[in-house]
Amino acid sequence: MNLTNPTAAGVRTKLHIYSSQNPALLLRAVRFLTAHGIPVELGNTFVKFPRAEAKADEAASALKGMGFRILTSMDAFDPDQDANLASRSKALLDEENTPKGHVHGPGCGHDHHEHGHQHGPDCGHDHHDHKHEHKHEHKHEHKHDHSHGHDHKHDHDHH
């Protein structure tokens, strides 16, 4: 296989495959591979690239050295290219661009940590009612019997 002219779409060939549920890891692997001129096929949870080509095998070895778990397989390989970008992206773009109303939660499109505004322990927000303590001064007159045979009046301040 020639890396500058990948095989026809769908042909089963020897491939390196990296799978992850973490988009940032997939993007980093893809960035590394494309920076080295290696064609890739992208999926939501994987990136495939050729095997048994010196440049691709060296890149796979380098990724393994960084901690990426690269598997080998025989599979169809249809690399992403400018020519198929629009067709491969259409369904995803249609879904992404469909108005969903104003909702919050996973997949809502909002950055819930924008500008450091987040909630939880150590977020810096007071999560208790904003009650203010006030001194309540009330004067009461009480009669006490001190067993002296006479009455005294006392004023008490209650704080």
Domains of the chain: 12-78 (3.30.70.790)
* Mean pLDDT, residues 82-101 taken together: 91
Inform me whether the pLDDT recorded for 59 exceeds 70: yes
Helices and strands per DSSP (H, E), number in the chain: 3, 6
pLDDT digits (tens, 9 = 90+) for 112-147: 555 555 556 666 555 555 555 555 555 555 555 555
Average pLDDT value for the chain: 78
Are 77 and 52 contacting, i.e. CB atoms less than 8 angstroms apart? no
pLDDT digits (tens, 9 = 90+) for 5-26: 445 555 789 999 999 999 999 9
Q: Which residue from 84, 77, 56 is spatially nearest to 11, judged by alpha carbons?
A: 77
> What per-residue confidence (pLDDT) applies to 2?
45
Phi, psi torsion values for 114, nearest 5 degrees? -60, 140
Inform me whether the pLDDT recorded for 148 exceeds 90: no
> What per-residue confidence (pLDDT) applies to 1?
43
pTM exceeds 0.85 for this model: no
